[in-house]
Amino acid sequence: MSEYRAPLKDMRFVLEELIGLEQIARLPQCEEASPDVVAAILEEGGKFAEEVLAPLNRVGDVHGAVWQDGEVKTAPGWKEAYTAFREAGWTALARSPEFGGQGLPKVVATAVMELWKGSNLAFSLCPMLTQGAIEALMLCGSPEQKKMYLPKMVSGEWTGTMNLTEPQAGSDLSAVRTRAEPVGDGTYKLYGQKIFITYGEHDLAENIVHLVLARLPGAPEGVKGISLFVVPKFLVNADGSLGARNDVRCVSIEHKLGIHASPTCVLSFGDHGGAVGTLVGEPNRGLEYMFIMMNEARFAVGLEGLALSERAYQKALSYAKERIQGFEVGVKSGPRVPIIRHPDVRRMLMLMKSQTEAMRALAYTVGAAFDLAHHHPDESVRQRSRGFVELMTPVVKGWCTENSVTIASLGVQVHGGMGFIEETGAAQHYRDARITPIYEGTTAIQSNDLIGRKIARNGGVIARGLIEEMRLAAEKLRAQPGEDFGVLARRLGAGIDALEKGVAYILETYGSNPKAAHAVSVPLLELFGIVCGGWQLGLSALVAAKRLAEGGGDEAFYRAKIGTARFYADHVLARAPALGMTVTEGAAGVLALDEEMF
Amino acid sequence: MSEYRAPLKDMRFVLEELIGLEQIARLPQCEEASPDVVAAILEEGGKFAEEVLAPLNRVGDVHGAVWQDGEVKTAPGWKEAYTAFREAGWTALARSPEFGGQGLPKVVATAVMELWKGSNLAFSLCPMLTQGAIEALMLCGSPEQKKMYLPKMVSGEWTGTMNLTEPQAGSDLSAVRTRAEPVGDGTYKLYGQKIFITYGEHDLAENIVHLVLARLPGAPEGVKGISLFVVPKFLVNADGSLGARNDVRCVSIEHKLGIHASPTCVLSFGDHGGAVGTLVGEPNRGLEYMFIMMNEARFAVGLEGLALSERAYQKALSYAKERIQGFEVGVKSGPRVPIIRHPDVRRMLMLMKSQTEAMRALAYTVGAAFDLAHHHPDESVRQRSRGFVELMTPVVKGWCTENSVTIASLGVQVHGGMGFIEETGAAQHYRDARITPIYEGTTAIQSNDLIGRKIARNGGVIARGLIEEMRLAAEKLRAQPGEDFGVLARRLGAGIDALEKGVAYILETYGSNPKAAHAVSVPLLELFGIVCGGWQLGLSALVAAKRLAEGGGDEAFYRAKIGTARFYADHVLARAPALGMTVTEGAAGVLALDEEMF
């Protein structure tokens, strides 16, 4: 079986040549992120991913996490890998030095996260959820809560979870019923059941810090009556040592299509007198706080789409180079050839490669904008970057994860019959990928966020700003000589036109005919992703052309960047005008049938 | 869990109203297929599918087939179900009365086959492979072979297999190495290993009749040196009773992503002295004969795409109607609603429904053309119909199966987090569907067949004939009043234009630049499928409009037909022009990178 190779060359191309890491390293609090330091970090991370995490990916799939009597045992080798992971300091990479973190920029953390998710998705979920919990406590926790939890969470000795979903409350959190009763000493007792809790119970760490949505007595109905609580698995004594086992139990774990090694828990709070917790921030603002974690997590799940696509591509590519089958097209005799010589295998690989590179460029660019939004000295840059991050978060989440499903599916197809055999490993990616467009908000939830909060609420100002920026890139492509750039400019221009009309349609209908706007919100999200991907690959091709003109670099690498962009233009970006038509004309069809006509 | 319901209403709509079953029943040898008789058969078949096969679908997935010491045990209940299946006469439905069959037309057998594949795909593979083997023996077997094997195979007492693939010879059958040595008494001894043999060993029937590709001593290299042999699991005595166990063993079965209940066998021939077989037809013509089975099987696998899509759709629809979650779009208060009220859920269901109906209409139309090709008194009709069947076989196989993967994926998505839980059942369809674009020839193999044998070889005459026929339908749509029909006419017209250009591109390049033609053959196949689907839904909408104008029918049903076609036009058929551009302009991008640049 082929193993995962950290795609360092392409990562560094995006970080150094496309985004310009030195720009980020000039920002206050980001000074440490010099290209050399970042390259060394990626090198180390890549080694860890390749040597420790990747070999456990199939082990985890086969063994899964095992529940027994309320405890969850992770797969063989997982505990040792997690210990090595936190001892190497990977959990602390992007966290504030105040709590023991290394304070590296988001864009660097983004690239590093891709390594974990690409090498072992099921493993990566544990640190990812912990990061989200840290973020929420950092921003909303009391000084006592921060002191009690953050250092151990940043060090990875304790992990964190997000407890949102209940059986009757999936995407609709207003239906949450878990209740929290004040004890009188500043603590609360929680009662209720939460489902789909990732790493809600496991044996990797000493303690698990649950962040839990619950209702206080007399709280308003709906989303405005939900508060956030921190409920540790083991209570924490004043001196920081572990105290009594809290009244939260894992009553079962799910039998899932994929990510078998990541325990998806049903947690029961308060079956034996109440689970002790403390309130985070103010009462009834829980959902707002949870969204802090959720936006982190949504972006991170978008990276999963990218990372799984990279992994599936590597696997398919390696098989396509090794597997000898058939003769070259147009040649009747001669030796049999590796299947990468067959044009349709080439087409599938190019679909995988080009979309993966487009996703990486876009996701890292969003990561860099996150740093600009936080650290740039100029308020207008901060504001513009914040707008871009907000607009792009649902796009990165929705587009990259939906792509990963089709890309993992292509990965199986490249393998032919062998792809359907579990031992080959391609099928695991196909199974694992399927959760990514669902958890942390389905694609429809992302698209609702996109058309509502991110477009309609600001009158489309941010989207139009992005469209203008993309038009400048199309201009540059047009000015570049050569057929490839002509095609790129034309397709990107047509894509931007389609997107502009799509955004205008949403602005027109969101208030007056919200059903129509929502009926085409997912096609709009897909359109957004495809066009932004084309924009990023277009910029990459421009960088490559410059390097080629300068000479002396890795010529094949830069020529591949241009060829890959060209492929994307004709096979992916070409879909944009059709998607645009679906957005502006497709709502009637969605709503054509009455419910009873189905 | 929702159960499978035979989609009899829609099946009968296609058979009776779209195709016109009475036309088929007027053909010689098809007289028994009156609408009443066919309706009764479908009713019975639907009952069997719903009551016997569907409940075993998950049982089979969970238990799988189990190999032990060369024997394969099917899942609990499977043997009883198979016995009931053959006793009810379902194996003999479309077979010649000469060998105990009922001789019903292909179009009826097509609808009945959808029932088996929709209710239990893994089960259906056993009779399907048997049908292919029967077909090959009927057409190429000697009188003795026919007498020895066909009655028992038609009755289902014995089953059949296709033994093509070897470890080094997947899609490339020219690499087959299994050898057959003449004994001198008219029999042969076979030696070699075959892989991916569906139902190569099982406990459902008394005997298994293997059709095996192998090489005779001194046979030419490549595909022209392959002969076809019949090798039974148990030798058959002159009186028809079972004799000695033959030297063919199942040495293992595969651990697969899906269709767990269908044993995928590694068969070893001749480990203990040679497996006894007889030659089918003439030496070195094996591949040609195997293609007879393969074309049957390819069409049948296309039906799997349709049937799985129907099943996934039913499951998603039932969940969407039951699952209460969130509020209606644009309504801030009021009761929570079933998720089918949410526009994006509606969009996903419409994608599933409209494409499923398009596939059914197209596949059944091809089934009917098969009957016309065989039985119509007018040679020109027979010839035209044969051309249509040949052109459409790779399209039905490739397009319907690729669709089933995305439709099963949508089915998971409609279920949200529950879709990822195996017990829900949606995930099984996603896993099962994934094999369909691979076996019996991958989509690339289908598309090679399409552009080579089915388009280039005849100078595009057959494709152009179909295009003309579709243009007539577009004309009729244009003449029909109402916005829906205007949109349908416009989109179908644009789709046909794109297809025409795509076909012209293939004709131009197939000889002069075969790599370019092959580089875009799969997009062309997809374009073919999408446009033909639009044509069929357009015709369905015209039938519906006529019925609505006449009055008195099921108004909601016919209005739904028009609404579904409208949705398809804006969400699926709208993609055709972009696909057309990918076909005519996309080859350069596919071939842009040298092999070492990947």
pLDDT tens digits, residue range A120-178? 999 999 999 999 999 999 999 999 999 999 999 999 999 999 999 998 887 788 889 99
Q: Which of A325, A559, A592 sits opposite B566 (nearest CB)?
A: A592
Neighbouring residues of B325: CB distance < 8 A, sequence distance ≥ 6:
A170, A171, A172, A175, B336, B337, B338, B339
Sign of CA dihedral A477, A480, A485, A486: positive
Distance CA A444, CA B348 (A): 10
Share of chain A above pLDDT 70, in %: 99
Report the 3 state secondary structure along B79-138. HHHHHHHHHCCHHHCCCCHHHCCCCCCHHHHHHHHHHHHHHCHHHHHHHHHHHHHHHHHH
| Residues of chain B contacting A262 with CB distance shorter than 8 Å | none
Look at B577 and A577 and tell me if their CB atoms are within 8 Å. Answer: yes
Dihedral pair phi/psi, residue B368, rounded to 5°: -65, -40
Residues paired with A265 in a beta bridge: A197, A253
Q: Which residue has the tokens 């502009």?
A: A500
| Residues of chain A contacting B5 with CB distance shorter than 8 Å | none
Per residue in A495-504, pLDDT (tens digit) is 999 999 999 9
Q: Is residue A463 part of a domain?
A: yes
Distance CA A538, CA A237 (A): 56
Distance CA A371, CA A26 (A): 11
User: Under a CB-based contact definition with an 8 Å cutoff, are residues B195 and B166 in contact?
Assistant: yes
Look at B597 and A560 and tell me if their CB atoms are within 8 Å. Answer: yes
Per residue in A387-417, pLDDT (tens digit) is 999 999 999 999 999 999 999 999 999 999 9
Distance CA A119, CA A3 (A): 9
Residue of A nearest to B417 (CA): A438
Q: Which of B329, B413, B434 sits opposite A438 (nearest CB)?
A: B413
Nearest to A318 by CA among A434, A424, A404, A429: A424
pLDDT score for A292: 75
| Residues of chain A contacting B196 with CB distance shorter than 8 Å | 417
Distance CA A593, CA B350 (A): 9
Confidence of residue A1 (pLDDT cuts 50, 70, 90): very low
Cα–Cα separations (whole angstroms), residue B234 to B183, B213, B245, B266, B352 = 18, 19, 4, 18, 45
Question: Is the predicted pLDDT of residue A563 greater than 80, yes or no?
Answer: yes
Look at A165 and B417 and tell me if their CB atoms are within 8 Å. Answer: yes
Q: Is residue B327 part of a domain?
A: no
Catalytic residue among B166, B357, B390, B440: B440
Q: Which of A257, A344, A350 sits opposite B518 (nearest CB)?
A: A344
Residue of A nearest to B520 (CA): A344
Taking the CA of residue A559 and the nearest CA in chain B, the distance in Å comes to 8
pLDDT score for B330: 84
| Residues of chain B contacting A330 with CB distance shorter than 8 Å | 514-515
Catalytic residue check, B201: no
The conformation of residue B421, written as its DSSP 8-state character, comes to: B
pLDDT score for A174: 86
User: Under a CB-based contact definition with an 8 Å cutoff, are residues B249 and B212 in contact?
Assistant: no
Nearest to B355 by CA among B480, B546, B526: B526
Distance CA B225, CA B284 (A): 5
How close are the terminal C-alpha atoms of chain B, in Å?
Answer: 46
Look at B574 and A586 and tell me if their CB atoms are within 8 Å. Answer: yes
A326 vs B362, residue with greater confidence: B362
Neighbouring residues of A399: CB distance < 8 A, sequence distance ≥ 6:
A302, A305, A359, A525, A526, A528, A529, A530, A532, A533
Per residue in A454-486, pLDDT (tens digit) is 999 999 999 999 999 999 999 999 999 999 999
Counting one residue from chain A and one from chain B, the pairs whose CB atoms sit within 8 A come to: 291
Question: Is the predicted pLDDT of residue A216 greater than 60, yes or no?
Answer: yes
Say whether B556 sits in a helix, a strand or coil: helix
Catalytic residue among A114, A390, A440, A526: A440
Taking the CA of residue B442 and the nearest CA in chain A, the distance in Å comes to 7
Confidence of residue A94 (pLDDT cuts 50, 70, 90): confident
Sign of CA dihedral A326, A328, A332, A334: negative
Look at A582 and B591 and tell me if their CB atoms are within 8 Å. Answer: no
The conformation of residue A282, written as its DSSP 8-state character, comes to: S
**B588 is written with which tokens?**
């350069």
Say whether A256 sits in a helix, a strand or coil: strand
pLDDT score for B1: 47
Residue of B nearest to A589 (CA): B567
Nearest to A41 by CA among A60, A54, A56, A25: A25
| Residues of chain B contacting A494 with CB distance shorter than 8 Å | none
**A371 is written with which tokens?**
């740093």
Residues of chain B predicted below pLDDT 50: 1
Nearest to B572 by CA among B413, B417, B410, B454: B410
Look at B515 and A343 and tell me if their CB atoms are within 8 Å. Answer: yes
User: Which of A257, A530, A558 to mutate to test binding with chain B, by most B CBs within 10 Å of its CB?
Assistant: A257
| Residues of chain A contacting B590 with CB distance shorter than 8 Å | 343, 346-347, 350, 567, 571
Q: Is residue B502 part of a domain?
A: yes
Residue of A nearest to B446 (CA): A344
Q: Is residue B419 part of a domain?
A: no
| Residues of chain A contacting B168 with CB distance shorter than 8 Å | 324
Q: Which of B175, B347, B417 sits opposite A438 (nearest CB)?
A: B417
Per residue in B252-262, pLDDT (tens digit) is 999 999 999 99
Taking the CA of residue A541 and the nearest CA in chain B, the distance in Å comes to 14
A172-197 as b/e: b if 16+ CB within 10 A: bbebbebbbeeeeeeebbbbbbbbbb
Look at B329 and A255 and tell me if their CB atoms are within 8 Å. Answer: no
Q: Torsion-angle region of residue B193: left (phi > 0), alpha (psi -120 to 50) or beta? A: beta
Helix H or strand E encompassing B244 = strand B242-245
Average pLDDT, chain A: 96
pLDDT score for A299: 96
Taking the CA of residue B243 and the nearest CA in chain A, the distance in Å comes to 34
Cα–Cα separations (whole angstroms), residue A221 to A175, A181, A195, B160, B379 = 9, 16, 21, 64, 74
Distance CA B106, CA B151 (A): 19
Look at B430 and A257 and tell me if their CB atoms are within 8 Å. Answer: yes
Look at A519 and B344 and tell me if their CB atoms are within 8 Å. Answer: yes
What's the whole-number mean pLDDT along residues A573-586?
98
Range of the domain at A521: 444-588
DSSP per residue, A171-199: S-GGG---EEEE-SSS-EEEEEEEEEEET
Report the 3 state secondary structure along A461-500. HHHHHHHHHHHHHHHHHHHCCCHHHHHHHHHHHHHHHHHH
Cα–Cα separations (whole angstroms), residue B572 to A352, A581, B124, B500 = 22, 11, 30, 18
User: Which of A346, A487, A505 to mutate to test binding with chain B, by most B CBs within 10 Å of its CB?
Assistant: A346
Number of domains comprising chain B: 1
State the CB neighbour count (10 A cutoff) for residue A70: 12
Taking the CA of residue A203 and the nearest CA in chain B, the distance in Å comes to 23
Strand-pair category, B227-232 with B275-280: antiparallel
Distance CA A177, CA A197 (A): 16
Q: Is residue A486 part of a domain?
A: yes
Look at A350 and B593 and tell me if their CB atoms are within 8 Å. Answer: yes
Cα angle: A144, vertex A145, A147; to 5 degrees: 65
**A206 is written with which tokens?**
């000493």
Q: Is residue A96 part of a domain?
A: no
State the CB neighbour count (10 A cutoff) for residue A278: 17
Look at A427 and B257 and tell me if their CB atoms are within 8 Å. Answer: yes
Residues paired with A122 in a beta bridge: none
Look at B578 and A582 and tell me if their CB atoms are within 8 Å. Answer: no
Distance CA A550, CA A558 (A): 12
Residue of B nearest to A346 (CA): B590
Question: Does the interface ipTM go beyond 0.90?
Answer: yes
Question: Is the predicted pLDDT of residue A70 greater than 50, yes or no?
Answer: yes
Look at A257 and B412 and tell me if their CB atoms are within 8 Å. Answer: yes
pLDDT score for B2: 56
Residue of A nearest to B401 (CA): A413
Distance CA A295, CA A287 (A): 12
State the CB neighbour count (10 A cutoff) for residue B257: 23
What's the whole-number mean pLDDT along residues A3-22?
96
Residue of A nearest to B329 (CA): A515
pLDDT score for B525: 98
Q: Is residue A285 part of a domain?
A: no
Distance CA B500, CA B565 (A): 22
DSSP per residue, A126-167: HHHHHHHHHHHHHHH--HHHHHHHHHHHHTTSEEEEEE--BT
Look at B442 and A171 and tell me if their CB atoms are within 8 Å. Answer: no
State the CB neighbour count (10 A cutoff) for residue A79: 15
The conformation of residue B246, written as its DSSP 8-state character, comes to: P
The conformation of residue A266, written as its DSSP 8-state character, comes to: E
DSSP H stretches of helix in A258-342: 286-322
Distance CA A569, CA A536 (A): 11
What's the whole-number mean pLDDT along residues A548-572?
96
Residue A505 corresponds to which amino acid? Answer: Y
Q: Is residue A577 part of a domain?
A: yes
